[in-house]
Amino acid sequence: MKVFACISAAFLLLSMYSVGATLEATCKQVTSPPVHGFDFDFCKTSLQVVPGSEKADTLGLSLIAASLALANFMHNQAKATELLRDKNLSKPTRNILTDCQRFYSDDADDLKRAIEALKSGKFNLSDIKTYLVNASDDVETCIESWEDLDQKSLMPKEEDDAEKISRLALAVTALLRP
């Protein structure tokens, strides 16, 4: 429920920040060249789910992307918790899931901090970028942990989505000027 409140708050703030880059222009900018691990369609379809995003500027789109990342990370934390209930998991699998669950939890807290800072309009851009980089790096760590174990992830779709949406949030936020 808190996630939807964040997304709703992002929508309300869009009216305050309605000048500047458009959704389409921003997605073109962050996907050319394609170095972030997601494409134009992913960017556009992810951000346009929030009403008003088509008229949002870079700050508004950063807020939307961070809010979407938060929703994703909270979902992934819950999914990892659910999977950990399985008594038949091997110790290595349980360890990876436990680490990933902790990453998603800690990163969700950092994403909340980033969102609050963006909402306030008074923020240290370097701190926000650090929160977003950490989130993206932690997802990569989860993915690599499965690979190191030579095992398929128990959450492949969720991890792929988390990786892309956290990278999207970082790429859009990187367009902000201090």
Tens digits of residue pLDDT in 64-122 = 999 999 999 999 999 999 999 999 999 999 999 999 999 999 999 999 999 999 998 88
Looking up tokens 């808190």, which residue turns up? 2
Residue type, 119: K
How many Cα atoms are found within 13 Å in the side-chain-facing hemisphere of 175?
24
Residue 22 reports pLDDT greater than 80? yes
Structure confidence at residue 110 (pLDDT): 95
Which numeric CATH code is attached to 2-173?
1.20.140.40
Structure confidence at residue 8 (pLDDT): 47
Those residues whose C-beta lies under 8 Å from the C-beta of residue 97, and which sit 6 or more positions away, are 80, 83, 84, 89, 154
Structure confidence at residue 44 (pLDDT): 93
Q: What is the pTM of this model?
A: 0.85
Residue 18 reports pLDDT greater than 90? no
Whole-number mean pLDDT of the chain? 87
